[in-house]
Amino acid sequence: MSDHGFTEEQRAGLYRAIHERRDVRSQFLSDPIAPEVLARLLQAAHHAPSVGFMQPWDFIVIDRLDVKRAVKALYDEANAQAADNYSGERAEQYRRLKLEGIVESPINLCITCDRQRGGPHVLGRNTMLDTDLFSTCLAVQNLWLAARAEGIGVGWVSIVDPARLSETLRLPAQVYPLAYLCLGYVSEFLPKPELELAGWRSRLPLEQLLHANTWDGSIDNDALRKAISET
Ligand SMILES: Cc1cc2c(cc1C)N(C[C@H](O)[C@H](O)[C@H](O)COP(=O)(O)O)c1[nH]c(=O)[nH]c(=O)c1N2
């Protein structure tokens, strides 16, 4: 066994951030986020892996109420359309869900992906062109976990038309508004995803997602399944 692991306490902290991270919409407080705290979150995002070390992200920090309101209007329009995808009780349930905290969160942050950064040939991106988008998602996740450790909630709002969001934020044509995030301290972190607590959808059992048809037997399938059920 190599000795490169973290101490038990450090590991526990990392897993705690992973398991207790939540998508926050309803619990934002108006307390400001200090610049040094926001700086730590942005550094965490900026240290994400990226294809060919492309670092395709930019960070648009938004606290202007007029911009927040403009994005909220985009959300309202897209969300009304989304509700039409459901019918009956499910539609009623959808309309009751709160799926954004744009105006009440003190900071909005758009993490964008510049699809041309690094020139036409980025190492590792020759066959999978969307790896720049994947990389930017990893920056989002780094920030989301770091925020949880800082006691700050993050909510991802994707129910907006991306072209109109780009227009609102005046993004250049090659820049995609990958994640529109709401950030702020919270009254509580819910113990489970809000969608699960609302009865919308539950977590799938990990065992059901594990496929062993490409194993040659060096991994003990039964032992792994048993370990998963005990974790
Ligand atoms: C790419 C992407 C896009 C969105 C989300 C997530 C991701 C990864 N989620 C949050 C999502 O609903 C949430 O992650 C799951 O319900 C699981 O809950 P926890 O994140 O574990 O609390 C999300 N939530 C929401 O209320 N409005 C939204 O528009 C979106 N959009």
195 ligand 1 Cβ < 6 A: yes
Consecutive H or E run containing 18: helix 8-20
Output DSSP code: residue 28.
B
| pLDDT (0 to 100) of residue 153 | 98
- Angle at the Cα of 199 from the Cα atoms of 197 and 203, rounded to 5 degrees: 75
Residue 108, burial from CB neighbour count under 10 angstroms (0-12, 13-18, 19+): buried
Report the atom number in ligand 1 closest to the C-alpha of 24: 22
What does CATH list as the number for 22-188? 3.40.109.10
- CA atoms of 128 and 32, how far apart (whole Å): 40
| pLDDT (0 to 100) of residue 1 | 61
Ligand 1 centre and the CA of 25: distance in Å?
A: 9
| pLDDT (0 to 100) of residue 29 | 98
Q: Which residue's C-alpha comes closest to atom 14 of ligand 1?
A: 23
| pLDDT (0 to 100) of residue 157 | 98
- CA atoms of 92 and 124, how far apart (whole Å): 45
Ligand 1 centre and the CA of 195: distance in Å?
A: 9
| Spans of all domains in the chain | 22-188
| pLDDT (0 to 100) of residue 221 | 83
Has this prediction a pTM greater than 0.90? yes
Respond yes or no on whether ipTM tops 0.95: yes
Report the atom number in ligand 1 closest to the C-alpha of 98: 26
Q: Kindly write down the DSSP assignment for every residue of 195-225, as one continuous string.
A: HHHTTS--PPPGGGG---TT--SSS-HHHHH
Q: Rounded to whole angstroms, what are the CA distances from 128 to 51, 60, 71, 111, 122?
A: 10, 26, 31, 21, 11
Contact between 93 and 195 (Cβ < 8 Å): no
| pLDDT (0 to 100) of residue 211 | 85
Q: Which residues of the chain have pLDDT under 50?
A: none
Where do we find the tokens 């359309």?
A: 81
- The residues, any chain, with a CB within 8 Å of residue 92's CB and separated by 6 or more, are none
For the chain, the residue count is: 231
Report the atom number in ligand 1 closest to the C-alpha of 137: 1
